[in-house]
Chains A and B, each alone.
Chain A
Amino acid sequence: MKPAPFEYASPETLDEALALVGDDSRPLAGGQSLVPMLNFRLARPARLVDLEHVAALAFIVAGDSLRIGAMTRQAAIERSPAIAARWPLLRQAVRLVGHPQIRARGTIGGSIAHADPKAELSVALAALGARFHVRSAAGARTLAAGELFRGPLMTALAPDELLVEIEVPPLPEGARTAFLEQARTHGDFAIAGVAAVVRADGVTLGLLGAGFTPVVVGSEAEIDAPDPYRRALLAALARRAIEAAA
């Protein structure tokens, strides 16, 4: 239950961090998923590149679009008045992530890059049509959720790349949202969950538990899941989420 030895680097700028990440190293964001994996020795990186002190990666800028730095704590998202007012789905989703003690350290970028199929933020961001800005020492690229998430704990990020920023477009005028999930106990990983964006001209649903990556569908009728129980659960959660949002 203790991590195996590793080398540790603590860069203070993004350029320093980008020069350090690569095949043998692993970026450490808030550590709320990676440190348990280190403690269990499920992850044994040769080197950790700790992003804790890369201050330029922690920001929330609410302009026309919302821009969130990858090292922004989940608690900061929960407390942001601009996010509560204009991107309420993110607040609804982040409040379901673990417990307050987890959200105080956990980051949005860490949650996305870890790509746990049960991550609420990934599903909410997919439903909102977020764009994921990625950097490496060699360049930059921007991915949609469907391009970023490849499978359970798998993303399109190369070892020398870092997720640096998440950009969320504005909600259409009058759109309303809700995030509902079913978990065995409060704060535990959900069995299934639904992010609903209800617009004047239709509905977008983000599904948690329908597959190994976030699934986005246009209507309740399109819901599929690996087993009948989760299919029924997702359908019920979708109905309730649409009602709760409307």
Chain B
Amino acid sequence: MRISLTVNGEAREADVEPRTLLSDLLRHGLGLTGTKVGCEHGVCGACTVQVDGEAVRSCLMLAVQARGRSVRTIEGFDHPLQEAFHEGHALQCGFCTAGILLSLEAFIRERPDAGADEIREALAGNLCRCTGYVAMVEATERALRTAPRRTPPGRPPS
């Protein structure tokens, strides 16, 4: 099937089998390998991307379901969270980081007043097995305190 979608602000077209997962279209079809694939059944969160501004598991969405939607991956991500993660050493191997940043950005856009407990809850769907979560929570709090918000709360990025 031929589908049209927007990826990181660019109109893209792709030929996909109906069974192609969105994660595989992004990685293999469009060469956007920043999106990682871990468990492929929705548990680990590594493949998290944003669809129309909401964080979703790209391994639990068929590529054909993204027809007409706007997809954002780590390649199209530019946010103060990245600087905060860098400064706070909130990543080590980095495999989970793309999914974590895209999950966190969707969360803090809706909840810019979130505290540490809520940030922990927002991260519960993203497994990290090396860095640990303490530095990530601290980095997120720091980004919330210091960074000017780029989009109004509750509004997906254009």
Between A and B, how many residue pairs show CB distances below 8 Å? 85
- CB-defined interface of B16-43 with A at 8 Å, one 1/0 digit per residue? 0111010010000000000000001110
Tell me if A's interface is mostly helix, strand, loop or mixed: loop
Report how many residues on chain A are interfacial, defined by Cβ distance under 8 Å: 31
A56 at the interface (CB under 8 A from B): no
Choose, from A5-13, A131-139, A171-179, A225-233, the stretch at the interface.
Answer: A5-13
> When chains A and B are docked, how far (Å) is the Cα of A174 from the Cα of B37?
48
- CB-defined interface of A28-43 with B at 8 Å, one 1/0 digit per residue? 1001100110111000
Interchain CB contact under 8 A, A105 and B61: yes
Interchain CB contact under 8 A, A5 and B57: no
Interchain CB contact under 8 A, B55 and A3: no
A48 at the interface (CB under 8 A from B): yes
A184 at the interface (CB under 8 A from B): no
Question: Most chain-B CB neighbours within 10 Å: which of A4, A7, A50?
Answer: A50
Interchain CB contact under 8 A, A187 and B124: yes
> When chains A and B are docked, how far (Å) is the Cα of A4 from the Cα of B20?
10
Tell me if B's interface is mostly helix, strand, loop or mixed: mixed
Q: Knowing A31-B62, A50-B64, A99-B45 are in contact, say whether A2-B19 is a contact too (CB < 8 A).
A: yes
Q: Knowing A5-B19, A35-B60, A187-B124 are in contact, say whether A104-B65 is a contact too (CB < 8 A).
A: no
* Least distance between A140 CB and chain B CB atoms (Å): 27
Interchain CB contact under 8 A, B19 and A6: yes
Interchain CB contact under 8 A, B54 and A36: no
Interchain CB contact under 8 A, A6 and B18: yes
Interchain CB contact under 8 A, B103 and A101: yes
B140 at the interface (CB under 8 A from A): no
Interchain CB contact under 8 A, B1 and A102: no
Q: Name the A residues within 8 Å of B17 (CB-CB).
A: 5
Question: Most chain-A CB neighbours within 10 Å: which of B48, B59, B65, B103?
Answer: B65
Q: Name the B residues within 8 Å of A35 (CB-CB).
A: 21, 42, 59-62
> When chains A and B are docked, how far (Å) is the Cα of A102 from the Cα of B48?
10
Interchain CB contact under 8 A, B57 and A100: no
Interchain CB contact under 8 A, A3 and B19: yes
Q: Knowing A3-B19, A5-B19, A187-B125 are in contact, say whether A100-B60 is a contact too (CB < 8 A).
A: no
Q: Name the B residues within 8 Å of A40 (CB-CB).
A: 41
A220 at the interface (CB under 8 A from B): no
Q: Knowing A35-B42, A40-B41, A99-B45 are in contact, say whether A7-B18 is a contact too (CB < 8 A).
A: yes
Interchain CB contact under 8 A, A104 and B55: yes
A125 at the interface (CB under 8 A from B): no
Interchain CB contact under 8 A, A100 and B55: yes
Q: Name the A residues within 8 Å of B40 (CB-CB).
A: 1-2, 39
B101 at the interface (CB under 8 A from A): no
Q: Which B86-110 residues sit within 8 Å CB-CB of chain A?
A: 103, 106-107
B122 at the interface (CB under 8 A from A): yes
> When chains A and B are docked, how far (Å) is the Cα of A38 from the Cα of B17?
14
Interchain CB contact under 8 A, B60 and A31: yes
Report A's interface with B, CB cutoff 8 A: 1-8, 10, 28, 31-32, 35-36, 38-40, 48, 50, 52, 75, 98-102, 104-105, 185-187
Report B's interface with A, CB cutoff 8 A: 1, 17-19, 21, 24, 40-42, 45, 48, 51, 54-57, 59-62, 64-65, 67, 103, 106-107, 121-122, 124-125
Nearest 4 A/B pairs, CB to CB: A99-B125, A8-B18, A36-B41, A104-B54
